[in-house]
Amino acid sequence: MKKVILLVEDDELDVISVERSLKKNDLDYELYTAYNGIEAMEMLKSNNGEIKLHPDVILLDLNMPKMNGIEFLKALRKDEKLKDIKVFVMTTSGDEADRKTTEQLGVSGYLIKPLNFNNNSKRTDSMDGFFQFHIRKIFAS
């Protein structure tokens, strides 16, 4: 079944990583990409409040310019029509406060992007490996 995914991520390399992971896994998907929270909101709603896009899953980075992930998540959970969308947080921040805040707002997963990438590490420790592993799980959810 085709899944509609909205990726909210300011780092273009991560966007490419996600795209490559989706392709490599041979999954049926439709990917939309926004580079910050405001862009993402604009993709979801028009100015008069009409829903333009209702993705199955939002992959959300936290540290972004203009509107960060937490602000976006708050706005999303306030919107009657959008509040039930599954959100997976993907961040490099190991900050416990961020994890708590997002979990209180309701997320389906909190994934810490790996910073280790040498060849000896576990498979999920490389960036590509990480995205491939989690994308499969997210799809299965």
91 touches other proteins (CB under 8 A): no
Minimum distance between the CB of residue 136 and other proteins, rounded to whole angstroms? 19
CB-CB contact of 15 with 9 (8 Å): yes
DSSP string, 58-85: EEE-SS-SSS-HHHHHHHHHH-TTTTTS
Q: Which segments of the chain are extended strands (E)? A: 3-8, 29-34, 57-60, 86-91, 109-112
42 touches other proteins (CB under 8 A): no
- Region from 35-43, 45-53, 65-73, 110-118 binding other proteins, contact rule CB under 8 A: 110-118
Q: At what angle do helices 12-24 and 127-140 cross, to 10 degrees?
A: 60
Minimum distance between the CB of residue 82 and other proteins, rounded to whole angstroms? 30
Which residue in the set 29, 79, 128, 136 belongs to the binding site for other proteins (CB under 8 A)? 128
Which residues are at the interface with other proteins (CB under 8 A)? Answer: 11, 13, 16-17, 20, 92, 114-119, 127-128
